[in-house]
Structure 1
């Protein structure tokens, strides 16, 4: 049943979402990057209208709301990319949106979310629960919670990246991808693409110290991030724990996960800028960072997702100019 909260995401839902996305957005480019004698196929989700793939899940979720639900508004939780996706979809559909965002989110993401007309409620990432805050708002207003990753519609919407990627690689690379490497926070994108591309090897990549998905895959059960995780520039991937709806897909489709260091992420950002002429935020460069660092074997028809490009200009300039 479509609106049952307990329903599981599936490939049919991903394909339905893909039709909805294709009606409003053009496919993002698939760019070849020559490296170490091979080709890495880079899916440039940083070129979406909100600068990240999150627009996909947000549109699938919000456009499926009933008129009554739309009238009560929506609440999202995000460090910035999902926030902008929900705000963009809400504005287009005439829905009031409130986004719970960490106080240390990049200013460029906070400003962009507000510019799209959403109300922003700030919280402390390390001492407060964004889910509890969002839940209280939903209880008070009757709004629908649009979770950043633990939602079947969100997972299916993010999976449309894989639908496009598969079509593009069959047209340009001689066949479907053998291996897809993805930046991973809570696992919405990774789970969605796993559903979309059932024959490809799926590898999630997280920042060092925030690799709860990798640890969960290794143990066979959900393992949260440990106490006192290190600071990371990959704000989009700072998720304390994946959730059952995501992990049900991940544990079936992902044999393992990887982590990358801050230096490896910066190296990937610099390479993308110099070779593909794209601005990619730290979290958006994590998957490519793993390949460049030799943590993933580069074989025929290997694809990576450049998941977002929303980064403060000054921070990006430091990475490009000094490597810091």
Structure 2
């Protein structure tokens, strides 16, 4: 896919100088987020893992960089008329925040089904939010109409050289802080972040491998680069990179500079969000966990490498985060639902509970089912949610229940 000769490719629309100038332009107004080694993740993956904590930006995502770089290059006339974007995510908040700070009117078009919290957050940054259409495509089309009618400047979330150069400043800081990085693992949605970071990496004084990551449900850039036609649809945890059509500019850069694109499953994304919270005590959204998901899914691919991962965002709904954490506990055996067949007679539940007590297992919830079951009228199904120390502890409990004569099974997650 990419070759080292691509460093000097004259046809690419963003150069290393563009990114360096962008960094000088925006550095005073963004957070220089830390790049820190994770000893535990390094031990788990066999690589030396460095994390770039872009979830610590004020709006909790790297998107501020490209938005600010674009805003600072607008003419006075354009600033007076204002900017417009179509986004229900991090681009909306990054653009709204910096436009408000610079005194530039901002309009954000969002689909009508955008969660209220995202609308409120964007309005809180001073933007005028217009709700239009049920899909992003409809919101995008309406934003382009308003652009023409009102004279706004449209700020694209990824397919703009100014935005790409701004996003590339992430790599400038990473390589200044950890120059020995030899592999960058970067999430891909529309391709703005990986395009900018690849531009920086190809100008380094040593070979840096560039690996992109997409969710299996939305392999849009993977399709474009590899000539495949996999569907792009579904409820992915990585909604920040759930892009159906990559940019024309970004696709060209990715084709020239990126070595490989890997796809990661929803399960690996969930595991990575949970691990980052447990190990690094940091909250990331699904897209922000994609880099770690790639390492966990392909450990042999990165063994022995010095890997830089971008935690590109931390805007995740708290209820969704709670679900992810609970599902991870269930998969590890620390939380379980056991389905136990009982006889409908006095003391039946007491005797089962006594086994839980003997095995020192905490019961959280008990569900009785007498009616909607295929068992005889005197039979019943009891589901018991419980908390154990680990998978081995759960296995001992199940063994003790079966030894006590109880038909027992675990209710597994997908």
Does TM-score exceed 0.5, indicating one fold? Answer: yes
Displacement after TM superposition at 1:25 (Å): 2.5
Q: Which runs of 5+ in 1 are unaligned?
A: 1-5
Aligned with 2:320 (options 315, 319, 323): 315
Tell whether the 8 Å contact from 1:180 to 1:200 is kept in structure 2 after alignment.
yes
Write the mapping of 1:94-173 to structure 2, written as runs, cut at 5 A. Answer: 94-124=103-133, 126=135, 128-170=137-179
What is aligned with 1:78?
A: 87
What is aligned with 2:344?
A: none
**1:29 partnered with 2:34:** yes
Q: Which runs of 5+ in 2 are unaligned?
A: 1-10, 329-412
Displacement after TM superposition at 1:125 (Å): 5.6
Displacement after TM superposition at 1:104 (Å): 4.3
What is aligned with 1:268?
A: 272
Write the mapping of 1:228-247 to structure 2, written as runs, cut at 5 A. Answer: 229-247=233-251
Tell whether the 8 Å contact from 1:224 to 1:240 is kept in structure 2 after alignment.
no
TM score, norm. by length of structure 2: 0.71
What is aligned with 1:10?
A: 15
Q: Residues 211-256 of structure 1, C-alpha deviation per residue, up to 9 Å, x if partnerless?
A: 111121212xxx78746x1221222112111122111110001132
What is aligned with 1:253?
A: 257
What is aligned with 2:186?
A: 182
What is aligned with 1:3?
A: none
* Secondary structure at the counterpart of residue 308 of structure 1: coil
Write the mapping of 1:193-204 to structure 2, written as runs, cut at 5 A. Answer: 193-198=197-202, 199-204=207-212
Greater RCO (CA < 8 Å, at least 6 residues apart)? 1
TM score, norm. by length of structure 1: 0.90
* Secondary structure at the counterpart of residue 214 of structure 2: strand
Tell whether the 8 Å contact from 2:45 to 2:295 is kept in structure 1 after alignment.
no
* Secondary structure at the counterpart of residue 257 of structure 1: strand
Cα RMSD, aligned residues only: 2.1
Distance, in Å, in 2 between the alignment partners of 1:186 and 1:137 is 23
What is aligned with 1:297?
A: 302
* Secondary structure at the counterpart of residue 129 of structure 1: helix
What is aligned with 1:191?
A: 195
Distance, in Å, in 2 between the alignment partners of 1:250 and 1:113 is 30
Distance 1:130 1:39, change over 3 A: same
What is aligned with 2:396?
A: none
Displacement after TM superposition at 1:311 (Å): 0.9
